[in-house]
Structure formats: structure tokens, C-alpha cells
């Protein structure tokens, strides 16, 4: 009887310290500069957009930060309305929304994210002139108003 009890008790005694060691192991923390990097990639400037686009194309270099790079682009709106390439502007907007929501600071940043989105869309429109430019600017304004009011 003693040997039948000793084996399960010994195994249980060994399992407890092992379980405690696993539970006590610290989770891999994101680098301390994550908020600053997120902020730098979500400003209204073209350089902010360019930095984000470069990082997006090299996501593996930022894996320790735990950024959410997922996107549904322009959600239920066309990604390229009337042929205007808004898809990447929408992707950056999604990046800002998803990561600031995850950080718990979305409300404090929503206005800036929406303004950066509008700035990105307007930069797309600079490639056009005349009636096509007017149409692009109107589309950009419509997309901005949608995220400003409904986003």
C-alpha cells in the first residue's frame, strides 16, 4: 500500500513547484518605447505615413512590440472608390484604431487618427487634377466624415 501511495504523492509534489515556476515566468513585455512608436506612426504628416508603411512591409522587425497589423481596409466602403487608391490609407487607419483600442487609449487619440486618415486620403488626391481631383477630394471628405461620425 505504501508504494502505491508514494508514487502519486511524489509525482504531485514534483508537479507543484514546476507549475509554480511556469506560472511565475514573466510574460514577454513589449518594449518600453511602444507608445512612442505607435504615436510616431499615426501622425498626419507624410513622413509618419512613410515610416508606418516601411514598418508594415517589415513587420517581423517589430514582432516584439505585439502590434496588430490586421486590416479590413475600408470595411464596407470601396477600398478604391472611383479608382482612387484609398486602401493603404484605410489600412493605416485600422492600425491606429486597433492598436490604440488595445492600449486602452483610443478615445484620447481618435480625433488625431481620423485627421491622419483624412491627410492620407488628401495626399492620394494630389496625384490628380481638374475634375478628377475634385472628385477625389469629395470622396476623401466623405470617407473622413464617415469615420469621424461613425468610426
Q: How far apart are the first and last CA of the chain?
A: 68
Task: Tell me the pLDDT tens digit for each residue of 40-75.
Answer: 999 999 999 999 999 999 999 999 999 999 999 999
Q: What is the pLDDT of residue 18?
A: 41
Whether 67 contacts 91, CB under 8 Å: no
Please state the rounded mean pLDDT for residues 118-130: 98
Tell me the C-alpha distance between 110 and 147, whole Å: 9
Domains of the chain: 30-150 (1.20.90.10)
CB count within 10 Å of CB 95 equals 22
Q: Which residues are catalytic?
A: 93
What band does 121 get if pLDDT is binned at 50, 70 and 90? very high
Average per-residue pLDDT in the chain? 88
Amino acid at each position: 500500500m505504501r508504494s502505491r501511495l508514494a508514487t502519486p504523492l511524489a509525482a504531485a509534489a514534483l508537479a507543484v513547484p514546476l507549475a509554480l515556476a511556469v506560472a511565475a515566468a514573466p510574460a514577454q513585455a513589449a518594449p518600453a518605447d511602444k507608445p512612442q512608436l505607435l504615436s510616431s506612426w499615426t501622425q498626419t504628416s507624410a513622413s509618419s505615413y512613410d515610416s508606418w508603411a516601411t514598418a508594415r512591409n517589415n513587420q517581423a522587425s517589430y514582432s516584439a512590440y505585439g502590434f496588430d497589423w490586421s486590416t479590413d481596409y475600408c470595411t464596407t466602403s470601396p477600398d478604391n472608390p472611383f479608382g482612387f487608391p484609398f486602401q493603404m490609407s484605410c489600412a493605416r487607419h485600422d492600425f491606429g484604431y486597433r492598436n490604440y483600442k488595445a492600449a486602452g487609449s483610443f478615445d484620447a487619440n481618435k480625433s488625431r487618427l481620423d485627421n491622419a486618415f483624412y491627410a492620407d486620403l488628401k495626399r492620394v488626391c494630389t496625384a490628380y487634377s481638374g475634375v478628377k481631383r475634385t472628385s477625389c477630394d469629395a470622396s476623401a471628405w466623405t470617407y473622413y466624415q464617415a469615420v469621424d461620425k461613425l468610426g
